[in-house]
Structure 1
């Protein structure tokens, strides 16, 4: 199941296109609450477990919206060969 399918199933509107690891998913507080219900995990525990999951305060508190944000070049992972 893709992230888009998971979010759609939770009733969260997904804007923009992107995929990890070159982009991160930003959630509104309403979307985070819906994800917590889907995961059957209280929101404080979910935000503790997913501490790098940023929440957006740009939208109204009740809107369930997620969007992809492209990572800066210095934050993107690179392929490395370790011997």
Structure 2
């Protein structure tokens, strides 16, 4: 049984999307199966977009010029 889209990593979702597109492009899939694969692909895309948006938000937070969080020099001995 296939994992739910929300349980897949971004990379796993991309691999499955590539497989789905390849199978649909070949045209050897019945209409019912094609619709199921299309629906699965849409779920994968939406989940992947959500993961990308979360990553963009994290990067934006990390890159923000926040005066209340001053940078300190890295000291490997402190670890």
Same-fold status (TM-score > 0.5): no
Q: Which TM-score bucket, shorter chain as reference?
A: under 0.3
For the pair shown, the structure with the greater C-alpha radius of gyration is: 2
Q: What's the TM-score once normalised by structure 1's chain length?
A: 0.22
Bigger helix share: 2
Bigger strand share: 1
Structure with greater contact order relative to length (CA < 8 Å, sep ≥ 6): 1
